[in-house]
């Protein structure tokens, strides 16, 4: 089965939320060196699984060196094209590299720490060059160069996930973090929670954004998702907005 039918770009990145949380809850630092099988073939330490996940995202990258959209990222309706790029997943990758550096320090593995630090420097440079749109972060690039979540966009000018994850991952400068979350409050906040994007999609072609099949305010078409609210709360708390 070809890659484009198998892989979603965000899937392997969630390891970097789950594994450190498990280790912190149990205190079992040795878990990082436990040998576990891969789903298909072979085995490695948990730390090795984490390196493999990073390698997947770093090698499946597009024109701006951001992770490719592949079959989909977290938002199944965004049609990046296989070689388009997800800036939300780039923010996940940024967090993942930061976590990997912390674990490498814990395991006193200087080689892995240096490798991840260099990858992080390159990613940070590209985020600053190609992801910031002046008042908020882009959602991604289609394979044809079209920007998702840009001030240039008629519909879907801003998406929630890259703003909250820019703060959570540490990708945003202090000024960017404050501004993008102010824009979230200005453009995405409702009495019921934070919308996934705005304005809704009405005229965008279905092969660009499948959410156009939903009425405005429903599901991926500027709806309020329960699980993205947590990211909003986390980002605001990290900025001191308790």
At residue 126, φ and ψ (nearest 5 deg) are -70, -35
Cα-Cα-Cα-Cα torsion 226, 227, 231, 232, nearest 10 degrees, comes to -10
Structure tokens at 123: 């990613």
Nearest 5°: the CA angle 173, 109, 24 is 65
Torsion of CA 45, 48, 53, 56, to 10 degrees: -130
Distance of CA 7 to the CA centre of its chain: 15
Catalytic one of 76, 110, 125, 144: 76
The string of DSSP letters for 33-49 reads G-EEE-SSS-EEEHHHH
Catalytic (active site) residue 76: yes
- Tell which residue, 67, 90, 70, has the closest CA to residue 6: 70
Choose among 34, 166, 59, 48: nearest CA to 100: 48
Longest dimension (CA), the chain: 54
**Measuring CA to CA, how many Å separate 111 from each of 32, 45, 57, 100, 104?**
16, 16, 20, 12, 8
Catalytic residue numbers, as ranges? 76
């Amino acid at each position: 089965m070809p890659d484009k039918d198998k892989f979603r770009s965000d899937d392997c990145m969630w390891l970097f939320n789950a594994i450190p949380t498990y280790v912190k809850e149990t205190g079992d630092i040795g878990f990082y060196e436990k040998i576990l099988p891969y789903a298909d073939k072979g085995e490695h330490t948990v730390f090795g699984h984490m390196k493999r996940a990073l390698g997947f995202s770093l090698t499946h990258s597009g024109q701006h060196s951001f992770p490719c959209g592949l079959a989909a990222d977290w938002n199944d309706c965004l049609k990046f094209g296989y070689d388009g790029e997800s800036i939300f997943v780039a923010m996940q990758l940024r967090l993942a590299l930061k976590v990997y550096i912390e674990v490498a320090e814990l395991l006193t593995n200087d080689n892995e720490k240096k490798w991840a630090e260099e990858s992080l420097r390159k990613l940070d440079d590209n985020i600053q060059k190609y992801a910031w749109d002046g008042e908020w972060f882009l959602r991604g690039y289609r394979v044809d160069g079209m920007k998702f979540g840009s001030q240039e966009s008629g519909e879907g000018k801003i998406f929630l996930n890259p703003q909250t994850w820019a703060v959570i991952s540490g990708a945003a400068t202090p000024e960017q973090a404050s501004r993008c979350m102010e824009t979230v409050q200005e453009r995405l906040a409702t009495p019921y929670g934070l919308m996934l994007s705005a304005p809704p999609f009405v005229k965008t072609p279905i092969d660009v954004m499948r959410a156009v099949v939903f009425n405005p305010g429903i599901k991926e078409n500027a709806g309020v998702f329960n699980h993205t609210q947590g990211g909003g709360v986390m980002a605001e708390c990290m900025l001191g907005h308790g």
